[in-house]
Amino acid sequence: MLTKVHTGLDPVPGIWWRPAHKAERVWVAIAFGWCMVLFAMMPLWHWKGGQNPSGVRRRVDPKAYYARTLAFATQYKVGEDRGLPIVAPPPGAEVYLVGLTFQWYPILKLERGKEYTLHLSSLDVNHGFSLFPLSVNFQVVPGYDYALRVTPTAAGDLRIICNEFCGIGHHTMVGRVIVVDGGTPVADNRRPSILGGGDR
């Protein structure tokens, strides 16, 4: 028994809790099934997939984190570019990157196919870690240390764009990550790379 034909503007007298037509029941069932697929994909990717934003997360004092990053840069410094140290930690190392208005510090030099634990945090305000041209994006929040296990999969001269508004110089905040193949640089700052970096 259907309700009397009416629109959404009409009050509904009597009982309206009535069985739906088959078409609606089937659509609701299909939609529900699809929602379960959408839901299952996320745990499944944690289990089988290679890209998850899990990491190890802890609170940290911004000044202490900054000091830790400076010490890390001194320890593994191999060169300098535009006043910033180029830092080449050994595979498996804890790697520290700090965002501060308006700079990513230091320049990182990593090896392709090796795993590192990349720590991200900020000295001052929120920043956005956006690895160009791969579009790997993470929020960088002051007072929080986001330690992600990363394995670079291709060599290249990459950039870190800040993609969270951090003040009037936000659009000048660009950092650099160099990924090398087995210890030999395939791209440095004197040679244009296939990935869009290059000399200026």
Q: How far is it, in rounded angstroms, from Cα 49 to Cα 52?
A: 7
Q: Please report whether residue 22 would count as binding other proteins according to CB under 8 A.
A: yes
Taking residue 75's Cβ as centre, other Cβ atoms within 10 Å add up to 10
Exposure on the CB side of residue 69, measured as CA atoms within 13 A: 27
Interface pattern 53-82 for other proteins (x via CB under 8 A)? xxx-x------------------------x
Site for other proteins in 172-191 (CB under 8 A): 172-176
Which conformational region is residue 119 in: left (phi greater than 0), alpha (psi within -120 to 50 degrees), or beta? Answer: beta
Q: How far is it, in rounded angstroms, from Cα 123 to Cα 111?
A: 27
Q: Please report whether residue 159 would count as binding other proteins according to CB under 8 A.
A: yes
CB of 72 to other proteins, least distance (A): 18
Distances (CA, A) of 38 to 27, 51, 97: 16, 17, 34
- Give whichever of 45 and 91 is closer to other proteins, judged by the CB atom: 45
Task: Return the residue of 11, 47, 90, 184 that touches other proteins, per CB under 8 A.
Answer: 11
Q: Using an 8 Å Cβ cutoff, are 131 and 152 in contact?
A: no
Q: Which stretch binds other proteins (CB under 8 A): 5-13, 68-76, 88-96, 180-188?
A: 5-13
Assigned token pair, 29 = 């069932």
Q: Please report whether residue 194 would count as binding other proteins according to CB under 8 A.
A: no
Bridge-based pairing state of the strands 84-87 and 107-111: parallel
- Judged by DSSP in three states, 106 sits in coil
Q: Please report whether residue 200 would count as binding other proteins according to CB under 8 A.
A: yes
CB of 92 to other proteins, least distance (A): 14
Q: Please report whether residue 164 would count as binding other proteins according to CB under 8 A.
A: yes
Site for other proteins in 128-157 (CB under 8 A): 128, 130-146, 148-153
Task: Return the residue of 98, 108, 155, 162 that touches other proteins, per CB under 8 A.
Answer: 162
